[in-house]
Amino acid sequence: MPQTRLFLSLGKIDSERVFHAFEQEFEEEGHPIAILEVDEAADIHEVSIYAPENPDDVQRRMRDVLDALALDATIGRELLEDQDWVSLSLQGLKPVRAGRVLVHGAHDRDKVNIGDIGIEIEAGQAFGTGHHGTTAGCLEMLADVMKQEHPQNALDLGTGSAVLAIAIAKLARIPVLATDIDPVAVTVAKENIALNGATRLVTAVTAPGFHHRVFAGAPQFDLIVANILARPLMALAPAMAAHMSPGGSLVLSGILDRQRNAVVAAYVGQRFRHIRTTHREGWVAIHLKR
């Protein structure tokens, strides 16, 4: 299906402001948004939105955001026929480090140092390359949690690319169930799991929620990570409590700074205790314990 890429060029500071504003404006639709450094010397960064449907409406809303930020920028448009928009959005992305974990593409394998836990994630139709603030924040928090705790099993709910499930498996050497509502995401997840040699520990399943048969009779989880969106996370609080082992840890992300208090309140109401919140690029990662 043809994709329309809508893009604009700004300096680094303004491009980051626009990127975060676009994320908030389009978070419900889930349009892929990318920010790339085009020319470091000239301080030119490009922000793109990939719109498979209604590009005129997306462009109008982009203009409204720019007006609200008092920024004057020309919005360009490019029709991508039979191209992989995810591959295009990942071009130029640099490896992302979270402690010992280094998320990278095939072209950056040489960046993995001795002692690193390298996770190779290639372009695919699934969210979560490690570069987005939510995924990077989760990676950092998971690394810290597993330094202090010794979970025996884990769940990555809404796994996307499976980068978090792979990280858990490599850091803790424990079995991880990775589920997603989107069968395309699960296909990509399985490819990434195999690519990273984690098939023995990580199982990827298409599951719309905890009522799926894969959870029937399954033990409670010592560690659950869910990088989705604030509203579904709040709705899932009772089910999370039912599937979390006593003393287990829950890491949540996909949450904007302004949504943090409401999410924490939903889980405190289910007898979770807030441990800490980290902030990255306008998003938060939250660690709670049952």
Q: Which CATH number fits domain 3-90: 3.30.70.260, 3.40.47.10, 3.30.540.10, 3.40.1410.10?
A: 3.30.70.260
How much is the mean pLDDT over the chain? 85
- Give the pLDDT score at 105: 77
Lowest mean pLDDT among 1-5, 104-108, 127-131: 127-131
- Give the pLDDT score at 257: 86
Q: What is the pLDDT of residues 119-130, one digit of tens each?
A: 988 655 444 444
- Give the pLDDT score at 123: 52
Kindly list the domain boundaries of the chain, sorted by start residue.
3-90, 97-289
Q: What is the pLDDT of residues 56-81, one digit of tens each?
A: 999 999 999 999 999 999 999 988 76
- Closest to 53 measured CA to CA, from 76, 26, 75, 74: 26
Q: Indicate if the pLDDT at residue 261 is higher than 50.
A: yes
Angle at 89 between CA 83 and CA 95, to 5 degrees: 135
Q: What is the pTM of this model?
A: 0.69
Which residues have a Cβ under 8 Å from the Cβ of 238 and sit 6 or more positions away?
270
Confidence of residue 174 (pLDDT cuts 50, 70, 90): very high
Cα-based distances in Å from 167 to 53, 62, 155: 34, 35, 12
Half-sphere exposure of 194 (CA within 13 A, CB side): 5
Better pLDDT: 50 or 165: 165
Q: Which CATH number fits domain 97-289: 3.40.50.261, 3.40.50.150, 2.60.40.2470, 2.60.40.10?
A: 3.40.50.150
